[in-house]
Structure 1
């Protein structure tokens, strides 16, 4: 019968899987100055693309797996007991399956650094994911997420990259502003209506992509100008009519994408000229040269205090960012980021809209 084949078939396929082993050495010193070396073999297991609809109960020692790839299968669930035993896994890739949920035992993965759950049917992430405090990269693109755990930002203090594009999020939790080590935030192709308060806490954020939230996203907060490390800002294809003055204070900004918005201020003729023309316009408006609402003192005072407006950042912040040794270019690339030289994301309506309003300096 067809029902009895999967287990045998899976075991057969597993025989041909290459396991790359890593040795981790631990040395223990006793009081007699005796050194005893213990070698443990950590395995990288690749079970991707095998059309699995269930996981085999094999003789694999789950405690010795450091990397597990279960991507591109037909899995609808992952057993609680299996996840709970992956105590040494560092990279877990389960993208492109049929998962409706993740087990609560996901929180047991205390050593997990890279977690890819993209291309599934997830409507939420388990609250226990907050216990994965070693997590540096979370990819949950192309799911059905309606919200993220409320306190996720309070716990995932090591997170460098958060990708939640192509979901159904209408807001990011307030705690997102506590992800002070975050370098990349990709939340395009959602239903976002606003950014969370306290955005200025993201002092290491280099790439922010909130494009293609279409009719939902209308306003950028003034605090956007306090993102002192921001290099790329993509707010294209939203309903933004006014860019905040504070954008002119982003001294590290190299790329600004604003096409596909019904911009009124700056006017389109300014937007079409150059990024510098936009900055000059915003500075004039900030200084009251233009007849517009003067800048709010609340955020302008913070910008002066943080020394972003005069073109310098505080030395201690710069030193701290350089000292942590995180290489930004390792996480630079975002699929479909709108630039003339790169391919356009599959859902991007760039071809329909005009004129182009994207600048790189």
Structure 2
């Protein structure tokens, strides 16, 4: 007969049964917390034209609801995905109670109001997608506390104020997309210092001012860079961009650029497919080195004062 610490096996069985029942009760309590948070969120949705929230009810498990995915291991809500559903309403503070959430996707709706600061409670969040809504107010500084965040999509809203400095210190962030808002202030001198994994950086179509950062060499993984249509100080195109060997999209229209296109800028951009510097004050001849961009498919140099030929 099996004995542990002098106890009979029946004691072990009862102990394990008690532990199992306690874990079930704990899981039940947590999923109940998730359910109440989601039902509170639903109560602030004023229009649901596609009835996607129809099966969100007290009598059923949230793991069976449309737009909800649960993690089997810990039995908690893992994903809230209601993108493109034309929902109207606001994002309630209670969303911050979904402690195990890793994906929050509400893009492509008609949500309004502020982004709640309680989103910072979602310490496991990896994707935050709130773009293409009517959100207003400022970006909460607390979003910078989401240390696991890989993708941040807040574009195409009505967000104002400066970009919190805390957003430039994500060790794992890959996508940084805040385009088409009313954001003001300046970008850090060295954007890349705290974003070593950055692949996409979109801040175009805002009211950003100051100088365009000139130190991009630390963004070694950068694929796409969009800065155009802001209110930057007049200046030259940053030559450091030429060190981004993985870059394939570079959009700098209406960026108050002046001077020449640097010859050395195109020496190390073999993957560049899209290049737009239209509506600036650039002048001079087009560098022969642009022929090194053998992948180039779209080139927009309109509304500048270039002379000479385009070399291919």
Offset at residue 203 of structure 1 (A): 1.5
What does 1:1-361 correspond to in 2, within 5 Å?
A: 9-10=43-44, 15=56, 18-23=66-71, 42-46=78-82, 49-53=86-90, 55-57=92-94, 61-71=97-107, 72-79=110-117, 82-95=118-131, 96-118=133-155, 119-146=157-184, 147-170=186-209, 171-192=211-232, 193=234, 194-213=236-255, 216-219=256-259, 220-228=261-269, 229-242=271-284, 243-263=286-306, 265-266=307-308, 270=309, 278-279=310-311
> CA-atom RMSD, angstroms?
3.0
Long gaps (5+) in structure 1: 1-5, 26-37, 271-277, 281-361
> Are 1:199 and 1:223, in contact at CA under 8 Å, matched by a contact in 2?
no
- Structure 2 SS opposite 1:43: strand
Task: Output the TM-score relative to the length of structure 2.
Answer: 0.68
Offset at residue 165 of structure 1 (A): 1.4
Offset at residue 113 of structure 1 (A): 1.7
Question: Could you say if the C-alpha distance between residues 39 and 110 of structure 1 is closer, same or farther in structure 2, counting changes exceeding 3 Å?
Answer: same
Offset at residue 246 of structure 1 (A): 3.0
User: 2: distance between equivalents of 1:176 and 1:144?
Assistant: 24
User: 1: distance between equivalents of 2:138 and 2:268?
Assistant: 34
> Are 2:173 and 2:197, in contact at CA under 8 Å, matched by a contact in 1?
yes
Task: Output the TM-score relative to the length of structure 1.
Answer: 0.59
Offset at residue 68 of structure 1 (A): 1.3
> Are 2:78 and 2:102, in contact at CA under 8 Å, matched by a contact in 1?
yes
Offset at residue 49 of structure 1 (A): 4.4
User: 1: distance between equivalents of 2:122 and 2:298?
Assistant: 41
- Structure 1 SS opposite 2:222: coil
Match of 1:273 in 2: none
Offset at residue 235 of structure 1 (A): 1.7
Cα deviation digits, residues 111-148 of structure 1 (max 9, x gap): 21221111222332111112322211111111223322
Cα deviation digits, residues 184-219 of structure 1 (max 9, x gap): 112222234333352233121111111233xx2223
- Structure 2 SS opposite 1:169: coil
Structure whose CA Rg is larger: 2
Offset at residue 153 of structure 1 (A): 0.9
Tell me the matched-pair count.
247
User: 2: distance between equivalents of 1:262 and 1:10?
Assistant: 53
User: 1: distance between equivalents of 2:41 and 2:82?
Assistant: 17
- Structure 2 SS opposite 1:135: coil
Question: Could you say if the C-alpha distance between residues 177 and 145 of structure 1 is closer, same or farther in structure 2, counting changes exceeding 3 Å?
Answer: farther
Cα deviation digits, residues 21-56 of structure 1 (max 9, x gap): 15365xxxxxxxxxxxx6665122438744334515
> Are 2:45 and 2:89, in contact at CA under 8 Å, matched by a contact in 1?
no
Offset at residue 279 of structure 1 (A): 0.9
Offset at residue 92 of structure 1 (A): 0.8
Question: Could you say if the C-alpha distance between residues 177 and 195 of structure 1 is closer, same or farther in structure 2, counting changes exceeding 3 Å?
Answer: farther
- Structure 2 SS opposite 1:141: coil
Long gaps (5+) in structure 2: 1-39, 58-64
